[in-house]
């Protein structure tokens, strides 16, 4: 263990480029939720990858975007502050999308830091025209000189191993910060709430992800059954009707899928009871944001 390496690596990028998918692929299990909709990651999520040679603590950040409310401001600040606090930054981009104004906006922050950074093109399995990809690579590198460039498919795991090898070269000799079998530093309640929120996003297509948040209100173990009470917060009564569904069918589907996954996560039988509460404009109210788990201090 004399040459054991460790360090902190930020995963950053625009919304819906596959940051959470990459993190989950590396860890081999779901730590950060995945959705087809942008802006699903709200808190920095530390995923921990450990093998015989190194330990990488990944910080998955919210997608940087033009904020429209207090929650959006919080998410941007959280993502951008990360750049200065880690050993390496991975800028994940969607290889199928051309370089745009949003990419230029994000890269401006890289120009203000000295942290080594990788440019990682994700979704290369969807590329049909290599000439377009080459133009894209040139556009990014003309804007900023990254230390290294990688081409991966986070969904299929293509070249993810090569990326990990590249990361190891930028880590210094250091301690094992977490036990070898630990995959995240988030509490179980946080991950459970994220699982429930993911099911809401997958099953309801009418509303944007930011209008939904989940809080685990109570966990009580009775004999061999763990009772979990969770509240789904939304902003409008119309959203409540969508989540409950006709005759409560949508709520039942959400609960069934979430219960199965949480039971697998905890390795025990659970009883999950869900409630829906309307909290108008909660994304702009700091009191409610803090209640829902967003640490707004010093951001």
Is residue 102 located within the same domain as residue 207?
no
> What's the predicted TM-score (pTM) here?
0.67
pLDDT at position 74 over 70: no
**Position 136 in a domain:** yes
When comparing pLDDT for 46 and 129, which is higher?
A: 129
Is residue 59 located within the same domain as residue 23?
yes
DSSP letters for the chain: -TT-EEEEEEEEESTTSSHHHHHHHHHTS-SS---SSS----S-EEEEEE-SSEEEEEEE-PPP----SHHHHHHHHHHHHHTTTSSEEEEEEETTS---HHHHHHHHHHTT--S-EEEEEE-GGG---HHHHHHHHHHHHHH---SEEEE-BTTTTBTHHHHHHHHHTTPEE----S-TT--BSS-HHHHHHHHHHHHHHHH--SS-GGG-EEEEEEEEEETTEEEEEEEEEES-HHHHHHHH-GGGHHHHHHHHHHHHHHHHHHTS-EEEEEEEEE-TTGGG-HHHHHHTT---TT-
**Position 179 in a domain:** no
When comparing pLDDT for 152 and 70, which is higher?
A: 152
Is residue 148 located within the same domain as residue 274?
no
Is residue 32 located within the same domain as residue 126?
yes
Total count of domains within the chain = 2
pLDDT tier for residue 273 given thresholds of 50, 70 and 90: very high
The pLDDT value given to residue 236: 81
**Position 296 in a domain:** no
What is the domain-level CATH number for residue 228?
Answer: 3.30.300.20
- Domain of residue 17 covers 5-173
Is residue 196 located within the same domain as residue 284?
yes
What is the domain-level CATH number for residue 32?
Answer: 3.40.50.300
Q: Which of 141, 173, 205 is the last residue before a domain boundary?
A: 173
Is residue 127 located within the same domain as residue 256?
no
pLDDT tier for residue 214 given thresholds of 50, 70 and 90: confident
pLDDT tier for residue 45 given thresholds of 50, 70 and 90: low
Span 91-105, average pLDDT: 91
């Amino acid at each position: 263990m004399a040459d054991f390496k460790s360090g902190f690596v930020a995963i950053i990028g625009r919304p819906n480029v596959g940051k959470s998918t990459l993190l989950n692929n590396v860890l081999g299990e779901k730590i950060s939720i995945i959705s087809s909709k942008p802006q699903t990651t709200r808190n920095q999520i530390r995923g921990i990858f450990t093998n015989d040679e190194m330990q990488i603590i990944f910080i998955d950040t919210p997608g940087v975007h033009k904020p429209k409310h207090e929650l959006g401001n919080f998410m941007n600040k959280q993502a951008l502050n990360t750049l200065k606090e880690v050993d390496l930054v991975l800028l994940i981009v969607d290889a199928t999308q051309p370089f745009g104004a949003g990419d230029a906006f994000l890269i401006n922050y890289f120009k203000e830091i000295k942290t080594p950074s990788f440019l990682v093109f994700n979704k290369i399995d969807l590329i049909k025209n290599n000439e377009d990809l080459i133009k894209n690579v040139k556009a990014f590198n003309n804007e900023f000189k990254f230390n290294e460039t990688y081409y991966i498919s986070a969904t299929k795991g293509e070249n993810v191993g090569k990326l990990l090898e590249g990361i190891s070269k930028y880590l210094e000799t250091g301690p094992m910060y977490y036990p070898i079998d630990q995959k995240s530093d988030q509490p179980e309640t946080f991950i459970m709430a994220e699982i429930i929120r993911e099911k809401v996003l997958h099953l309801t297509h009418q509303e944007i992800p930011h209008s939904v948040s989940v809080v685990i209100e109570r966990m009580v173990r009775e004999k061999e059954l763990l009772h979990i009470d969770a509240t789904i917060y939304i902003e409008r009564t119309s959203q409540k009707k969508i989540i409950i569904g006709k005759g409560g069918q949508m709520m039942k589907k959400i609960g069934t899928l979430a219960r199965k996954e949480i039971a697998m996560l905890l390795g025990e039988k659970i009883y999950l009871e869900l409630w829906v509460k309307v909290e108008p404009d909660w994304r702009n109210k700091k009191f409610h944001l803090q209640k829902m788990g967003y640490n707004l201090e010093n951001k």
